[in-house]
Amino acid sequence: MQKPATSPTPVPLFALYKLFFAVGLFSFGGGLTAWFHREVVLVRQWMTDEEFFSGYSLAQVLPGVNSTNMAVYIGQHVRGAIGSVTALAALLTGPFVVVIVAAVTYNRLVELPGFSAAMAGIATTAVGMIFRLGMASAKASVRHVPSVLVLIATFVAIGLLQWPLMPVLAVLAPLSIAAAWPRAADRTDTPAA
């Protein structure tokens, strides 16, 4: 059974700003999209898994940084154009200030004992969050054999053989879309209960 659709009550702009400001300010070493998923889908239930991963797929193929693409998508999804602007501004405000302060004090920070170890630990945590997000996004695909084959082919081509991303994407993306198309059509043709 699928989660209920997104609540018709609009998300307050302050709540949107507060969430994206906190994520932007406290996320180090990556993993923002995993944090977005946890906060937006699992904790606040502003979106369903399907809505989130549709945007995640879009953010991956659009030019630009995935986390900013996701901020724009989530903001637009929950509050329209003003939500996009709010989420993006919030996401970038905290890191902007932190980066300016860090640039000014960088030489002193590197000399602190344990600074390098702290940064390595933060990066490891981010990798764990990204791994969890990958597992969550793959969960729906593992029930569908053609999707699993595309997933394995992508992993082998890019991860193991280290083939260039664009040619692999040009071949596998249409195959993946073709494999998912019948399932998407079945979901939209099924009458609501």
Structure tokens at 41: 């889908």
Residue among 86, 91, 103 nearest 66 (CA):
91
Residue among 50, 36, 46, 51 nearest 11 (CA):
46
Residue among 96, 78, 95 nearest 87 (CA):
78
- In three-state secondary structure terms, 13 is helix
pLDDT tens sequence for the chain (193 residues): 344 444 567 899 999 999 999 998 887 666 788 899 999 999 999 999 999 998 998 898 888 888 999 999 999 999 999 999 999 999 999 889 888 988 888 788 888 888 888 878 878 887 887 888 778 777 766 777 787 888 889 889 988 999 998 899 899 888 888 877 776 656 655 554 4
By the 10 Å C-beta count (0-12 exposed, 13-18 middle, 19+ buried), 69 is classed as buried
Give every CB contact of residue 70 below 8 A, 6+ residues apart in sequence.
32, 33, 36, 55, 56, 59
Domain ranges of the chain: 1-115+123-136, 140-193
pTM of the model: 0.63
